[in-house]
A and B are shown apart, each in its own frame.
Chain A
Amino acid sequence: MNAVSRQRLVVIGNGMAGMRTVEEVLARAPVRYDITVFGAEPHPNYNRIMLSSVLAGEKQIDDIVINHLSWYAENGITLHTGDPVVAIDAAAKTVTAASGLCVAYDKLLLATGSKPLMPPLPGLDLPGVVAFRDIADTDKMLAAAQAKQRAVVIGGGLLGLEAAWGLKRRGMPVALVHLMPTLMERQLDVEAGTMLQRDLTERGLHFFTHAQTERVMGETKAEGLVLADGRTIPADLVVVAIGIRPNIDMGKAAGLDINRGILVGDDMATSNPDIYAVGECVEHNGQVFGLVAPIWEQAKVCAARLAGDQIAAYATPALSTRLKITGIDVFSAGKLAAEDDADEEVVFRDAAKGVYRKLVVREGKLVGAVMYGDVADGGWYFDLIKGDKTIADMRDHLIFGQSFADQGCCGGAKPGLDVAAMADDAQVCGCNGVSKGAIVKAINEKGLTSLDEVRAHTKASASCGMCTPAVQAILSFVTGADASAPEAMCKCTDHGHEYVRHAILDQRLKTQDAVRRALGWKNADGCAKCRPALNYYLLCAWPGEYVDDYQSRFINERAHANIQKDGTYSVIPRMWGGVTTPDELRAIADVADKFNIPSVKVTGGQRIDLLGVKKEDLPAVWGDLNKAGLVSGHGYAKGLRTVKTCVGSEWCRFGTQDSTGLGIKLEKLMWGSWTPHKVKLAVSGCPRNCAEATIKDIGIICTEAGYDMVIGGNGGIEVRVTDELTRLSTEAEVLEYAGAFMQLYREEGHYLERTAPYVERVGMAHIKAHILDDDARRKALYARFLFSQSFAQDDPWAERATGGIDTHEFQPLAVVS
């Protein structure tokens, strides 16, 4: 199609910077070049920023591939992966790869990235020491996590913290060593850095700050670290994440001017006009680069120049930082602190909520912002900093955020982002440098309707994902769809769980139909996802008033037994605290005989499971069990399941308290309650913890001094050890604190969210503020729980066996012979 012979563009480096430049070149001058790409890694181009999410188990490698192999093929790009370039002949204009392949170029682009900065420590070459840089490093860390070994991370910056958190999420005990007194000191001030350390400590990371590493221990493999002060930290995996340095090997090979990085001018050309360089390998105006936003800018300028533009020039944009640790929100941009007397700092602090923000004002303009806890206004502050305009007229209330500042003109505070008030050139996606105007244009011109489409067409929110709520808000604003919501409950609505729960209370919505009408549900009946959720939310919000809708319950909660794969059911009577009697056991045996129940099994929750019961037999089975005093064990419910106990001080020679008795009291308190997801408790009579209380939703560990209460554990797919809540001295206190936590979870948990993810989502500080710091709040929660329980504690089996409820459920409508 083009008779003129194309020029040859060779790219060394198949990473984010290089491929972004190629994409930009293709967009500007699709037929100008024959493009050849060399990559040292054996993968297509992937999003290196998201490796920490892969490590944390939130994404798979496939999810973070930016350009699939098909993209290279479709664009006629010749790709050589796993074949690093080893030599450049700048005079002959050729490059030679490790395989011996020699390719000639007209223009050469160096995008070789960086290497991990390795401190000069003895022992760094031992097996078990890794950097955190690429997929291979991530694989090594995941393998170590699988073996459940101990890890230590050197470096308390963004990368080190994300590595540590990822490994923790994978179940490893993790320590982090940081040279400076506070974490992320280049992005956060001392106060925010301290809050970050406190929150991460609460989540189980161990910190050694102000700590100089002296050497890696071990003879044949890494066995831990020795610090300069003599302390040792045992570990099988040592992750070095103290920073990066530009990879300048290729620059040297080509004889280019080099300092810390490969020197480039505003045109992104090196000292050889036919060789360009972008990304972490370059140095521009004395600066080297690690964040993605300036690199995208470089890619744009470099591509323009390669496409023939003579004017495009690079200037480093203002930078902002966010941390990718689920549930921890940190933002900073510009100056971290006042630098002299002329600068002013404005500080807002709400310790109970874990919120902190500091603004730095110079000559009537905003020049810096540090935020912790609530970072929704980060983008707005960042725009003000970049805008370089006077903020004198809103100086007094600037610290309270955008919605407050806008009140004067809009007449009322709007939650979240005010899209209408955003300037068209306001940057929305910092990673990819996408403005509001660009997103609006793409939505309008291409008729986009979903977040995925906007991502595909604009790349906004396609890198770190932090701007997703803002992109969603713009999409909603332009398409007129409902206001921005985090994640919709289901396809029937755009609202998230939180919004719906608040609306139920605020608008006093008391039936499912009322909720669906008031909130504009798309399907009149709802669906199998939202109906059980709404039923629970209404039951929790209006105890004694809302009439439980059985047709909105999953079959197990409708039939009060567990459906099995063959359509039969399993029946588990409650055994309070795991204690039973010969009479109960005889009744269970008789029932198993009488109804030909094929399988009898002891459960993990200290009870007996009768498996293979025909549905029509259920009421009679329950009737016989009821006669022996056995009631429903709710082994099928999103509600209280079991309270596992050990024998405690009654029998055990190590027992410190009556753990069995306390377990029974807790079970009597909580049975019959409906909760967002199932709830399991355990009470151990001593710190040997035979009842495994540390992987339960609520665990009590008895000691000579009293009772340690722990919460948020889980022994399921993702094992999570509980967080410590508090130490109590009487059984009465245990009941009150446990009941209060149960109610807090009932009121705040999303439907089908176990306590483990709930605790991670809201944070321990939030829970402590409600349960520990404020006696009145705790007592009110406990009172609401007791009130709710007064309507919940009827044995559903008795109601059906002899009470005549729901008889239709268990009988066929007709038998046609």
Chain B
Amino acid sequence: MMDWIDIGTLADIPRLGARTVETHMGQVAVFRTGDDEVFALINKCPHKNGPLSEGIVMGRKVACPLHNWVIDLNSGEAQAPDEGCTTPLPLRDDGGRLLLGLTPAKKVAHG
């Protein structure tokens, strides 16, 4: 089961920018691209846990502010030659409301 949580509207996130959401899974970064697509990732770069929400967004990618690793917003994968992955989370734009898909807290507590 997936909990879909209303976290706000598209307009709350600057275009080519990001905001954060505090969850039981840790801090989540919610990105908005130049084409108004939205993506959510656990806000930790696979390299040194840098806050990806603070990075520069370009296309469907973000550059980590600490050491410039480039992370794919859709998959959470680092761009070669770097290797690593941060967890992507489901995010829906439901008529202007953004719904973040979180696994229920109980499961996570045991996982």
Contact = CB atoms under 8 A, between A and B. Distances in A.
Interface residues of B, number: 37
Nearest to B68: A528
A563 B54 contact: yes
A551 B19 contact: no
Nearest to B43: A567
Contact of B57 (A524, A525, A808, A813): A525
A531 B58 contact: yes
B84 interface: no
A528 B63 CA distance: 6
Nearest to A815: B22
B22 A816 contact: yes
B23 A816 contact: yes
Given A527-B63, A528-B63, A567-B50, A813 B19 contact: yes
B16 interface: yes
Given A525-B34, A527-B63, A528-B63, A551 B57 contact: yes
A551 B17 contact: yes
A463 interface: no
B48 interface: yes
B21 A528 contact: no
Interface stretch (A106-114, A552-560, A762-770): A552-560
A814 interface: yes
Interface string A562-579: 010101000000000000
A563 B68 CA distance: 13
A329 B32 CA distance: 48
Interface string A798-817: 00000000001000111111
Nearest to B7: A814
Nearest to A526: B58
Contacts of A565: 48, 66
B58 A559 contact: no
A816 B5 contact: yes
Interface string B23-40: 110010010011000000
Given A528-B68, A816-B102, A555 B54 contact: yes
Contact of B65 (A525, A552, A555): A555
Contacts of B30: 813
B66 A563 contact: yes
Contact of B21 (A523, A554, A812): A812
Nearest to B27: A812
A816 B21 contact: yes
Contacts of A524: 34, 59
B60 to A, nearest CB: 10
Contacts of A816: 5, 7, 21-24, 100, 102
B55 interface: yes
Contacts of B59: 523-525
Contacts of B100: 816
B85 interface: no
Nearest to A806: B14
Of the listed residues B15, B34, B56, B63, the one surrounded by the most CB atoms of chain A closer than 10 A to its CB is B56
A720 B55 CA distance: 32
B88 interface: no
B86 interface: no
A813 B58 contact: no
Contact of A814 (B16, B21, B34, B63): B21
Given A813-B13, A816-B21, A555 B63 contact: no
B80 to A, nearest CB: 14
Nearest to B17: A551
Contact of A808 (B7, B12, B51, B54): B12
A558 B57 CA distance: 13
Given A563-B54, A814-B22, A815-B22, A551 B15 contact: yes
B11 to A, nearest CB: 10
Nearest to A567: B51
Interface in A496-536: 523-528, 531-532
B19 to A, nearest CB: 4
Contacts of A523: 58-59
Given A523-B58, A528-B56, A813-B20, A554 B65 contact: yes
Contacts of A567: 49-51, 54
Interface in A740-767: none
Interface in A770-817: 808, 812-817
A31 to B, nearest CB: 38
Contact of B8 (A526, A554, A814): A814
Interface in A537-556: 550-552, 554-555
Contacts of B14: 550-551, 808
Contacts of A526: 58
Interface in A642-671: none
A786 to B, nearest CB: 31
Given A551-B15, A563-B66, A812 B22 contact: yes
Interface of B: 5-8, 12-17, 19-24, 27, 30, 33-34, 48-51, 54-59, 63, 65-66, 68, 70, 100, 102
22 contacts: A525-B57, A527-B58, A527-B63, A528-B58, A528-B70, A552-B56, A554-B65, A555-B55, A558-B54, A563-B51, A567-B51, A812-B19, A812-B21, A812-B27, A813-B7, A813-B30, A814-B7, A814-B22, A816-B5, A816-B22, A816-B23, A817-B24
Given A527-B63, A814-B22, 11 more contacts: A523-B58, A528-B63, A528-B68, A531-B58, A552-B56, A563-B65, A812-B27, A813-B20, A815-B22, A816-B5, A816-B102
Interface of A: 523-528, 531-532, 550-552, 554-555, 558-559, 563, 565, 567, 808, 812-817
